[in-house]
Amino acid sequence: MLKYASNVFHALKVAFANEVGAISQQLGIDGRQVMQLFCQDRELNISPRYLQPGFGFGGSCLPKDLRAIVHVAKELDLATPLLASVIGSNDAHIQRVVDAVIDTGKRRVALLGLSFKPGSDDLRESPFVRLAEALIGRGLIVGVSDPDVAIGNLVGRNRSYIQDRLPHLAEALVHEWDDLVRGADVVIVAKPPEGLERLAHFLRPDQFIIDLVGLNLPGDVFRPWVTHPSFGNPREESPEPRQLDEGGRPHPPARLARIGANEE
């Protein structure tokens, strides 16, 4: 799987640079100069940042800027299928978690975290707002706790956005998450809660726990980047024992091995 992840990312980088270059060309800009400056950012652009599986992106910048550059490409009559597909990919990832909750058949949900990142009360296009909106739309009862969010402090577009998406947020939002977790059938950890060390003591074996952060929580926890026992392994209907090669390394799963054989 590491080989495929590496080569797919290399291909993704080539396609990304080429689409940026194509747009730059039509705008009278040197695309290589753009990418050279882009690569000088070693904190975010060329770094491990944003390269860990988790939940979807959101906030007031990423979706807006992505839509803007895709719109510019359309205005220039340029095909940029990679850039144009990113929003759809993000939507699909959020939907996977919605489906995981719906499939449990449980109705009372505790959502720990609502703004798009810790330390911010910005709710605009937060993936957790979209998650809550989708679950409420399916008839589930969703309670929310986020110490970064106070209804009275929301202003401007931030306030307008949440009033449009979650008009009854004031009724669902609680400051202390303890009672919220106690009364829930599903607990979704969207951001690390205050008093994180106490969370494990409130979780019950009958609750369905979803971890979108990557915390060290006890029991069977659903994470959208690793197989969960309640959902089985969708890639192998009848898992086979992992055999070792001559160097003592495990052979790849059967499906990946079949793909590799087809390439040769």
d(CA 189, CA 113): 7
Using alpha carbons only, what angle is made at residue 148 by residues 147 and 151, rounded to the nearest 5 degrees?
Answer: 90
Q: Which of 39, 61, 150, 259 is catalytic?
A: 61
CA distance 140 to 174: 17
8 Å CB contact between 107 and 185: yes
* 61 is known as an active-site residue: yes
How far apart are alpha carbons 235 and 246 in whole angstroms? 25
The closest alpha carbon to 117, from 191, 43, 196, 215, belongs to 191
Contacts (Cβ under 8 Å, ≥6 apart) of 157? 60, 124
Task: Give catalytic residue positions.
Answer: 61
